[in-house]
Amino acid sequence: MAAALVLRRWLPAAAVILGVAALMVLVYDPWYLNYDARYALLWARDLWEGFAPEYTADYAPTPHPLQMAVSSLALPFGDDADRVIVWTVLLCFGALAWLVYRLGSELFNPWVGGVAALVVVTRPAIERDALLAYQDVPFELLIVAAVLLEARRPRRGAPVLAVLAVAGLLRPEAWVLSGLYVLWLWRPATNRQRALHIALAASAPLIWGLSDLVVTGDFLHSLHGTAQLAEDNERRRSIEQVPRWGAQYLAFTLREPLILGVPIGMAFAYLYRRREGMLLLAVVVAMLAVFAVGPLFGLPLIGRYVRTPAILLALFYGLAVFGWTLLPRGTTRTRWLAVGVFAALLSVAFLPKHVSMLSDMRHRFDRDAHLYADLREAAHAPVVRAAFEACGPISTADHRPIPYLRYWIGGEPGSVGTIRGQASPLGDLLLVPRKTYFAERFYKVNFPMRTARKPEGYTRLYQNRSWRVYAAPGCERGV
């Protein structure tokens, strides 16, 4: 009897989590990692091999302590570590959908939660993040989990802060949420509870800063490095750009139907579910405020930074569609039913464009899968490995292949750099993307990586359909 109750309780969650992940794999067959995730895997390998992670490599991204720790678990799978990490994040994506449903059910009802969960799993921008294994997806999962804990028992305290502390090892926005939550708990808490709350809230930034200090000697390396990388990549980081790009990034994530539907849901919450709506809105406002002040510290404006607020706003769209189910029978309920039908029809009308966007995303994944599969093939080519062992280091024309090439070729820290912006001197080997092949077959508008001409005196050592490797005199035979 007890086993049946447990099964009945957890089977729907397991079905959603596994079903969403399996569907993503079936449709897109993802296997390669985004730039940040690849570096996390590479840095984890450095640690296990006795090297300090190369946080100061050319165009290195921001290190995320928890991402690197989890990546360590995938290292025994070698080249298949990519798929292990992708599957892990896709399972988090499925869990995110389930928790959004549970949060909507807790605050409003299952209909509202169901619509919000459906929104999450069908937004192209959020799907892309999951398929590329961005750390933002498990971060979003943890934030929604923390909000759900608070929704079930207001001022719950330590459990919420513990979840936020874990989230704070993935993204620093959780630090701000933790600090605000400590203030929210302050008055009714005892001195002992306050000390515990402060310790939990401070744990993530301290762990992050100390890891940076140990590796680089700079407690604030992540802040300084992120600001420098934003400058090197010429990213948006002006405070004057915040209103425009904040709104544009939210719209890009939620898409047209929700842009109109979310305000309707907010109006319903204000009229009939104010306390529940305020919890969501407080988290949304706090996270958007962190996004807005980032440029003051030199941090960039990036669309992924508003994904979590966008996910919470999706619950208001669910409220716009099914808020009428929360009202007693009568004229008001009938009016809101009509509003709900209108909000739902917005998504129906958008379906053709939505399907086209998902199709375009699949095309881009196919395209990039070829690109990175060919890069892995080049890194494993015996002639390239022999030349690398004899002559290394190897340079790249663009910075983006660096972590992939170093991981697949088995290079130590400092063995792969880029000539982009003269970040590193030209090595005896140079990896260059072959623009012609992808320009003809895939890239009809813009080629995604910088290329370079063959250096004088170098000869072609290796090429496949996507990449070419040049070697300096004496290195073409791996001697």
Please tell me the number of Cα atoms within 13 Å of 52 on its side-chain side.
12
Domain count, the chain: 2
Q: Read out DSSP for 31-74?
A: -PPPHHHHHHHHHHHHHHTT----TTSTT-----HHHHHHHHTT
Residue 358 inside a domain? The answer is: no
Residue 4 inside a domain? The answer is: no
Is residue 258 domain-shared with residue 115, that is, in the same domain?
A: yes
pLDDT of residue 477: 62
Single out the residue in 326, 356, 377 at which a domain terminates: 326
Place of tokens 């009809």: 444
Residue 46 inside a domain? The answer is: yes
Is residue 319 domain-shared with residue 415, that is, in the same domain?
A: no
Contact 86, 131 (CB under 8 A): yes
3-class secondary structure per residue, 427-479: CCEEEEECHHHHHHHCCCCCCCCCCCCCCCCCEEEEECCCEEEEECCCCCCCC
Residue 347 inside a domain? The answer is: no
Please tell me the number of Cα atoms within 13 Å of 319 on its side-chain side.
27
pLDDT of residue 445: 44
Is residue 197 domain-shared with residue 307, that is, in the same domain?
A: yes
In DSSP terms, 432 is beta-bridged to 468
Helix (H) or strand (E) holding 215: helix 191-216
Is residue 84 domain-shared with residue 155, that is, in the same domain?
A: yes
- Whether pTM > 0.75 for this model: the answer is yes
Contact 264, 339 (CB under 8 A): yes
Sequence-distant (6+) residues with CB within 8 A of 406 are: 42, 415, 416
> CA 18, CA 94: separation in Å to the nearest integer?
7
Is residue 157 domain-shared with residue 233, that is, in the same domain?
A: yes
> How far does CA 389 lie from the centroid of its chain?
35
Closest listed residue to residue 96, CA positions, set 153, 51, 139, 160: 139
155: left (phi over 0), alpha (psi -120 to 50) or beta: left
Closest listed residue to residue 325, CA positions, set 102, 108, 100: 108
The residue segments making up the domain with residue 443 are: 367-471
Is residue 320 domain-shared with residue 371, that is, in the same domain?
A: no
Is residue 377 domain-shared with residue 306, that is, in the same domain?
A: no
> CA 468, CA 433: separation in Å to the nearest integer?
6
Helix and strand numbers, DSSP H then E, in the chain: 19, 5
Residue 99 inside a domain? The answer is: yes
Note the pLDDT tens digit of each residue in 352-381: 999 999 999 999 899 899 999 999 999 999
Is residue 63 domain-shared with residue 122, that is, in the same domain?
A: yes
> CA 255, CA 235: separation in Å to the nearest integer?
23
The tens-digit pLDDT sequence of the chain (479 residues) is 666 677 778 899 999 999 999 999 999 999 999 999 999 999 999 999 999 999 999 999 999 999 999 999 999 998 899 999 999 999 999 999 999 999 999 999 999 999 999 999 999 999 999 999 999 999 999 999 999 999 999 999 999 999 999 999 999 999 999 999 999 999 999 999 999 999 999 999 999 999 999 999 999 999 999 999 888 888 888 899 999 999 999 999 999 899 999 999 999 999 999 999 999 999 999 999 999 999 999 999 999 999 999 999 999 999 999 999 999 999 999 999 999 999 999 999 999 999 999 999 999 899 899 999 999 999 999 999 999 999 979 999 999 999 999 999 999 999 999 999 899 999 999 999 987 655 455 544 455 688 888 999 999 999 999 999 999 998 866 54
Sequence-distant (6+) residues with CB within 8 A of 310 are: 123, 126, 250, 253, 254
pLDDT of residue 265: 98
Is residue 319 domain-shared with residue 393, that is, in the same domain?
A: no
> CA 326, CA 110: separation in Å to the nearest integer?
11
Is residue 377 domain-shared with residue 247, that is, in the same domain?
A: no
Structure-token pair, residue 256: 């047209």
pLDDT of residue 450: 82
